[in-house]
Structure 1
Protein backbone atom coordinates (compact mmCIF):
# COMPACT_ATOMS: atom_id res chain seq x y z
CA UNK A 1 0.00 0.00 0.00
CA UNK A 2 1.40 3.39 -1.02
CA UNK A 3 0.12 6.49 0.73
CA UNK A 4 -0.04 9.56 -1.51
CA UNK A 5 -0.24 12.90 0.26
CA UNK A 6 0.58 15.14 -2.73
CA UNK A 7 -2.87 14.92 -4.26
CA UNK A 8 -2.43 17.69 -6.84
CA UNK A 9 0.96 16.35 -7.94
CA UNK A 10 -0.52 12.88 -8.35
CA UNK A 11 -3.60 13.99 -10.31
CA UNK A 12 -2.93 11.75 -13.30
CA UNK A 13 -2.29 8.65 -11.20
CA UNK A 14 -5.36 9.19 -8.99
CA UNK A 15 -7.59 10.09 -11.95
CA UNK A 16 -6.57 6.89 -13.73
CA UNK A 17 -7.66 4.85 -10.72
CA UNK A 18 -10.93 6.77 -10.44
CA UNK A 19 -11.55 6.27 -14.16
CA UNK A 20 -11.07 2.52 -13.89
CA UNK A 21 -12.91 1.77 -10.66
CA UNK A 22 -15.01 4.81 -9.70
CA UNK A 23 -18.55 3.77 -8.87
CA UNK A 24 -20.16 6.60 -6.88
CA UNK A 25 -20.62 10.31 -7.48
CA UNK A 26 -17.90 11.25 -4.96
CA UNK A 27 -15.35 9.43 -7.11
CA UNK A 28 -14.21 12.61 -8.81
CA UNK A 29 -10.67 14.00 -8.59
CA UNK A 30 -11.64 17.65 -8.08
CA UNK A 31 -14.29 16.80 -5.52
CA UNK A 32 -11.65 14.85 -3.59
CA UNK A 33 -8.98 17.52 -3.94
CA UNK A 34 -11.30 20.32 -2.83
CA UNK A 35 -12.29 18.56 0.40
CA UNK A 36 -8.97 19.67 1.90
CA UNK A 37 -9.12 22.40 4.53
CA UNK A 38 -6.84 23.76 7.25
CA UNK A 39 -8.28 21.06 9.53
CA UNK A 40 -8.41 18.19 6.98
CA UNK A 41 -5.80 16.65 4.67
CA UNK A 42 -6.55 14.37 1.72
CA UNK A 43 -4.68 11.10 1.30
CA UNK A 44 -4.90 8.56 -1.49
CA UNK A 45 -4.13 4.97 -0.53
CA UNK A 46 -2.92 3.15 -3.63
CA UNK A 47 -2.83 -0.62 -3.91
CA UNK A 48 -1.65 -2.87 -6.75
CA UNK A 49 -3.28 -2.56 -10.18
CA UNK A 50 -4.44 1.03 -9.57
CA UNK A 51 -6.86 0.07 -6.79
CA UNK A 52 -7.29 2.77 -4.17
CA UNK A 53 -9.06 4.52 -1.33
CA UNK A 54 -9.79 8.25 -1.18
CA UNK A 55 -9.56 9.38 2.43
CA UNK A 56 -9.50 12.51 4.55
CA UNK A 57 -7.63 12.79 7.84
CA UNK A 58 -8.90 15.46 10.21
CA UNK A 59 -6.71 17.19 12.77
CA UNK A 60 -8.91 15.66 15.46
CA UNK A 61 -7.50 12.22 14.53
CA UNK A 62 -10.61 11.14 12.65
CA UNK A 63 -10.56 9.57 9.19
CA UNK A 64 -13.24 9.62 6.53
CA UNK A 65 -13.41 7.46 3.43
CA UNK A 66 -14.85 9.30 0.45
CA UNK A 67 -17.06 6.97 -1.55
CA UNK A 68 -16.53 3.26 -1.95
CA UNK A 69 -13.16 1.51 -2.29
CA UNK A 70 -11.81 1.93 -5.83
CA UNK A 71 -11.47 -1.73 -6.76
CA UNK A 72 -13.50 -4.60 -8.18
CA UNK A 73 -16.23 -5.74 -5.80
CA UNK A 74 -14.42 -8.92 -4.75
CA UNK A 75 -11.31 -7.04 -3.62
CA UNK A 76 -12.83 -4.04 -1.83
CA UNK A 77 -13.14 -5.66 1.57
CA UNK A 78 -9.47 -6.69 1.77
CA UNK A 79 -8.25 -3.18 0.85
CA UNK A 80 -10.65 -1.66 3.36
CA UNK A 81 -9.28 -4.03 6.02
CA UNK A 82 -5.71 -2.86 5.26
CA UNK A 83 -6.76 0.79 5.45
CA UNK A 84 -8.64 0.20 8.70
CA UNK A 85 -5.58 -1.42 10.27
CA UNK A 86 -3.37 1.47 9.15
CA UNK A 87 -5.70 4.21 10.42
CA UNK A 88 -6.68 2.71 13.76
CA UNK A 89 -3.67 0.60 14.73
CA UNK A 90 -0.59 1.87 12.90
CA UNK A 91 -1.49 5.57 13.26
CA UNK A 92 -3.49 4.94 16.45
CA UNK A 93 -6.19 7.38 15.40
CA UNK A 94 -9.60 7.45 17.07
CA UNK A 95 -12.35 6.89 14.57
CA UNK A 96 -13.21 6.22 10.95
CA UNK A 97 -16.30 7.53 9.16
CA UNK A 98 -17.40 5.54 6.15
CA UNK A 99 -20.03 6.59 3.62
CA UNK A 100 -20.47 3.56 1.39
CA UNK A 101 -23.33 1.78 -0.37
CA UNK A 102 -25.46 -0.42 1.88
CA UNK A 103 -24.20 -3.65 0.32
CA UNK A 104 -20.61 -2.78 1.26
CA UNK A 105 -21.75 -1.64 4.71
CA UNK A 106 -23.15 -5.13 5.29
CA UNK A 107 -19.71 -6.57 4.45
CA UNK A 108 -18.08 -4.17 6.92
CA UNK A 109 -20.25 -5.56 9.69
CA UNK A 110 -18.66 -8.96 9.11
CA UNK A 111 -15.16 -7.48 9.60
CA UNK A 112 -16.20 -5.86 12.85
CA UNK A 113 -17.90 -8.96 14.22
CA UNK A 114 -14.95 -11.22 13.37
CA UNK A 115 -12.23 -8.91 14.67
CA UNK A 116 -13.55 -8.16 18.12
CA UNK A 117 -11.34 -5.03 17.99
CA UNK A 118 -13.79 -2.62 16.34
CA UNK A 119 -17.29 -1.28 16.88
CA UNK A 120 -19.73 -0.06 14.27
CA UNK A 121 -22.99 1.84 14.64
CA UNK A 122 -26.38 0.32 13.91
CA UNK A 123 -27.85 0.30 10.43
CA UNK A 124 -27.11 3.50 8.56
CA UNK A 125 -29.67 6.19 7.92
CA UNK A 126 -30.50 6.31 4.24
CA UNK A 127 -31.52 9.65 2.82
CA UNK A 128 -34.02 9.88 -0.01
CA UNK A 129 -33.83 12.73 -2.48
CA UNK A 130 -36.90 13.34 -4.63
CA UNK A 131 -36.47 14.07 -8.33
CA UNK A 132 -39.27 16.00 -9.98
CA UNK A 133 -40.38 16.38 -13.57
CA UNK A 134 -40.20 20.16 -14.03
CA UNK A 135 -42.19 19.98 -17.27
CA UNK A 136 -45.42 19.44 -15.33
CA UNK A 137 -45.32 23.06 -14.21
CA UNK A 138 -44.77 24.80 -10.91
CA UNK A 139 -48.49 24.85 -9.99
CA UNK A 140 -48.85 21.10 -10.47
CA UNK A 141 -45.59 20.53 -8.62
CA UNK A 142 -46.85 22.50 -5.61
CA UNK A 143 -49.98 20.35 -5.53
CA UNK A 144 -47.80 17.22 -5.34
CA UNK A 145 -45.80 18.64 -2.45
Structure 2
Protein backbone atom coordinates (compact mmCIF):
# COMPACT_ATOMS: atom_id res chain seq x y z
CA UNK A 1 0.00 0.00 0.00
CA UNK A 2 1.38 3.42 -0.86
CA UNK A 3 2.39 5.60 2.07
CA UNK A 4 -0.07 8.31 1.02
CA UNK A 5 -2.93 5.77 1.14
CA UNK A 6 -1.90 4.65 4.63
CA UNK A 7 -1.88 8.25 5.88
CA UNK A 8 -5.26 8.89 4.26
CA UNK A 9 -6.69 5.81 6.03
CA UNK A 10 -5.31 7.06 9.36
CA UNK A 11 -7.04 10.39 8.77
CA UNK A 12 -10.32 8.78 7.61
CA UNK A 13 -10.42 6.44 10.61
CA UNK A 14 -9.90 9.37 12.99
CA UNK A 15 -6.79 7.81 14.49
CA UNK A 16 -4.65 10.07 16.65
CA UNK A 17 -1.02 9.03 16.34
CA UNK A 18 1.57 9.43 19.09
CA UNK A 19 4.93 10.96 18.27
CA UNK A 20 7.93 9.10 19.61
CA UNK A 21 11.70 9.04 19.12
CA UNK A 22 13.23 5.80 17.85
CA UNK A 23 16.95 5.02 17.77
CA UNK A 24 17.07 4.40 14.01
CA UNK A 25 15.54 7.78 13.08
CA UNK A 26 16.81 11.33 13.48
CA UNK A 27 13.29 12.75 13.59
CA UNK A 28 10.36 11.65 15.75
CA UNK A 29 7.99 9.16 14.10
CA UNK A 30 4.24 8.64 14.32
CA UNK A 31 3.17 5.51 16.20
CA UNK A 32 -0.15 3.70 16.64
CA UNK A 33 -1.31 1.08 19.14
CA UNK A 34 -2.50 -2.47 18.41
CA UNK A 35 -6.20 -1.53 18.39
CA UNK A 36 -5.56 1.25 15.88
CA UNK A 37 -3.50 -1.11 13.75
CA UNK A 38 -6.37 -3.62 13.68
CA UNK A 39 -8.67 -0.86 12.50
CA UNK A 40 -6.23 0.13 9.75
CA UNK A 41 -5.72 -3.51 8.72
CA UNK A 42 -9.48 -3.95 8.30
CA UNK A 43 -9.69 -0.80 6.15
CA UNK A 44 -6.69 -1.88 4.06
CA UNK A 45 -8.29 -5.29 3.54
CA UNK A 46 -11.47 -3.58 2.33
CA UNK A 47 -9.41 -1.66 -0.22
CA UNK A 48 -7.74 -4.88 -1.38
CA UNK A 49 -11.19 -6.45 -1.77
CA UNK A 50 -12.21 -3.77 -4.26
CA UNK A 51 -13.83 -1.09 -2.10
CA UNK A 52 -12.79 2.32 -3.42
CA UNK A 53 -11.37 5.10 -1.27
CA UNK A 54 -14.46 7.19 -2.06
CA UNK A 55 -16.74 4.42 -0.75
CA UNK A 56 -14.66 4.17 2.42
CA UNK A 57 -14.89 7.94 2.87
CA UNK A 58 -18.69 7.78 2.61
CA UNK A 59 -18.92 4.86 5.05
CA UNK A 60 -16.65 6.46 7.63
CA UNK A 61 -17.94 10.02 7.28
CA UNK A 62 -21.06 9.38 9.35
CA UNK A 63 -19.17 7.54 12.08
CA UNK A 64 -16.54 10.28 12.40
CA UNK A 65 -19.10 13.09 12.49
CA UNK A 66 -21.11 11.29 15.17
CA UNK A 67 -18.11 10.66 17.44
CA UNK A 68 -16.28 14.00 17.13
CA UNK A 69 -17.04 16.91 19.42
CA UNK A 70 -16.50 20.61 18.72
CA UNK A 71 -14.06 21.08 21.61
CA UNK A 72 -11.64 18.18 21.89
CA UNK A 73 -9.10 18.10 24.69
CA UNK A 74 -5.93 16.06 24.94
CA UNK A 75 -5.57 13.91 28.03
CA UNK A 76 -3.18 11.21 29.24
CA UNK A 77 -6.09 9.04 30.37
CA UNK A 78 -7.77 6.76 27.81
CA UNK A 79 -10.91 8.08 26.18
CA UNK A 80 -14.16 6.59 27.46
CA UNK A 81 -15.79 4.00 25.22
CA UNK A 82 -18.77 5.37 23.30
CA UNK A 83 -22.06 3.91 24.52
CA UNK A 84 -23.67 3.66 21.08
CA UNK A 85 -22.20 4.03 17.65
CA UNK A 86 -23.77 6.06 14.88
CA UNK A 87 -27.31 4.79 14.22
CA UNK A 88 -26.76 4.80 10.44
CA UNK A 89 -23.67 2.63 10.76
CA UNK A 90 -25.41 0.27 13.16
CA UNK A 91 -28.41 -0.04 10.86
CA UNK A 92 -26.13 -0.69 7.86
CA UNK A 93 -24.34 -3.46 9.80
CA UNK A 94 -27.61 -5.06 10.86
CA UNK A 95 -29.00 -4.99 7.31
CA UNK A 96 -25.76 -6.35 5.83
CA UNK A 97 -25.65 -9.10 8.46
CA UNK A 98 -29.24 -10.10 7.74
CA UNK A 99 -28.51 -10.26 4.00
CA UNK A 100 -25.39 -12.34 4.61
CA UNK A 101 -27.36 -14.75 6.79
CA UNK A 102 -30.23 -15.04 4.28
CA UNK A 103 -28.12 -15.45 1.13
CA UNK A 104 -25.26 -17.52 2.54
CA UNK A 105 -22.84 -15.79 0.17
CA UNK A 106 -19.15 -15.94 1.11
CA UNK A 107 -17.65 -12.89 2.81
CA UNK A 108 -14.10 -11.62 3.22
CA UNK A 109 -12.29 -11.39 6.54
CA UNK A 110 -12.67 -7.59 6.51
CA UNK A 111 -16.40 -7.88 5.89
CA UNK A 112 -16.79 -10.35 8.77
CA UNK A 113 -14.74 -8.06 11.04
CA UNK A 114 -16.99 -5.12 10.14
CA UNK A 115 -20.19 -7.11 10.66
CA UNK A 116 -19.34 -8.66 14.02
CA UNK A 117 -17.07 -5.81 15.19
CA UNK A 118 -14.28 -8.22 16.08
CA UNK A 119 -11.35 -9.51 14.12
CA UNK A 120 -11.88 -13.22 13.48
CA UNK A 121 -9.05 -15.27 14.94
CA UNK A 122 -9.98 -18.91 14.47
CA UNK A 123 -11.89 -21.24 12.19
CA UNK A 124 -15.18 -20.35 13.93
CA UNK A 125 -16.08 -17.08 15.62
CA UNK A 126 -19.24 -16.88 17.77
CA UNK A 127 -20.64 -13.44 18.49
CA UNK A 128 -24.06 -11.86 19.01
CA UNK A 129 -26.10 -14.88 17.97
CA UNK A 130 -24.17 -15.64 14.81
CA UNK A 131 -21.20 -17.79 13.94
CA UNK A 132 -18.66 -16.92 11.26
CA UNK A 133 -17.18 -20.07 9.69
CA UNK A 134 -13.91 -19.96 7.75
CA UNK A 135 -13.98 -21.94 4.50
CA UNK A 136 -10.60 -20.89 3.15
CA UNK A 137 -8.19 -18.00 2.91
CA UNK A 138 -10.25 -14.81 3.15
CA UNK A 139 -13.49 -16.78 2.67
CA UNK A 140 -16.11 -16.86 5.44
CA UNK A 141 -19.78 -17.66 5.79
CA UNK A 142 -22.14 -16.24 8.38
CA UNK A 143 -24.76 -18.50 10.05
CA UNK A 144 -27.14 -18.16 12.95
CA UNK A 145 -25.90 -19.72 16.22
CA UNK A 146 -27.88 -22.56 17.69
CA UNK A 147 -29.49 -21.57 21.01
CA UNK A 148 -27.84 -23.23 24.00
TM-score under structure 1 length normalisation: 0.27
